[in-house]
Amino acid sequence: MKRLIVNADDFGFTPAVTAGIREAHAAGTVTSTSVMVRCPGWDDAVEIAHAVPSLDYGLHLNLVVGAPMTNAPSLTSADGKFLPFATMVRRAVMGAIDWRDVTAECEAQLAALAAAGITCTHMDSHRHTHALPVIRRAVAAIAADRNLPLRRPIESHFRAGDFASQLHRGVIAASWRVTSLTAARTRAPDNFAGVSMQGSRGFADQFTAAVSELANGTTELMVHPGHVDDTLIAIDSYTHEREHELSALTSPQLRDALTRGDLTLIGFRDL
């Protein structure tokens, strides 16, 4: 049996991104999404989550954008905002991140989902920070304790993309393998894909090819659809690429690719 979860990251990032993910779900391609807590699109995300119960909602742990919900000195700069991503990576590799700060922040974001009446079905993270040393151990312990699937960001197969996406893919996979030595064992789909497709102008063809080559078992296919607004432009560099992904994910080509008789679309709650 081949089962596929199409998960859209960044729900709640901005209102326009959230609206785009809702459109992709309505088109029948996206089955699950991961929520960024207390980001500019948070209020819209909560409203839509209650209006669209057919979509699965997980935590897209944010240790990158804005400020933490907790007092987290090892994750923040002097201004109280999260460290720049490159600085976060460097400090994690050097062991300068306090696992207790990560644990407290992750628990706070999960609590915010629960307080908003959103049932969390899985966990992953913005920019895959949960694959970094120290952070991985803290987040995996929480996922294991709650029996929540945690994204395993090693692509089982991939379509060749540009150099940046391939470098990104390789670094994430290497970090995940190293941190597996000390992290708690967590649940995840059997296969994962999506990193090598990010930013590709051939996204639709790569998505179709990935679906046609699915291995047996369950595969998570990560996507980033969305509309672009001024808020997104101010805080993220992945902008027009989201519109390109949304156009593909609402197209007949991709809907048809997902209607094969040997393929079942599911969400994380079905694992």
pLDDT value at 159 more than 70: no
What's the confidence (pLDDT) of residue 161?
A: 56
What SS3 string covers the chain?
CEEEEEEEEEECCCHHHHHHHHHHHHCCCCCEEEECCCCCCHHHHHHHHHHCCCCEEEEEECCCCCCCCCCCHHHECCCCCECCHHHHHHHHHCCCCCHHHHHHHHHHHHHHHHHCCCCEEEEEEHHHHHHCCCHHHHHHHHHHHHCCCECCCCCCCCCCCCHHHHHHHHHHHHHHHHHCCCCCCCCCCCEEECHHHCCCCCHHHHHHHHHHCCCCEEEEEEECCCCCCHHHHHHCCCCHHHHHHHHHHCCHHHHHHCCCCCEEECCHHHC
Mean pLDDT on 185-209: 90
What's the confidence (pLDDT) of residue 25?
A: 98
Q: Residue 158 — very low, low, confident or very high, per pLDDT cuts 50/70/90? A: low
pLDDT tens figures, 14-64: 999 999 999 999 999 999 999 999 999 999 999 999 999 999 999 999 999
pLDDT tens figures, 127-144: 999 999 999 999 999 999
pLDDT value at 160 more than 80: no
Which pTM does this prediction carry?
A: 0.94
pLDDT tens figures, 209-234: 889 889 999 999 999 999 999 999 99
CATH class for the region spanning 2-270:
alpha beta
Mean pLDDT on 89-109: 96
Q: Residue 109 — very low, low, confident or very high, per pLDDT cuts 50/70/90? A: very high
**Bigger pLDDT: 39 or 182?**
39
**Any idea where the domains of the chain sit in the sequence?**
2-270
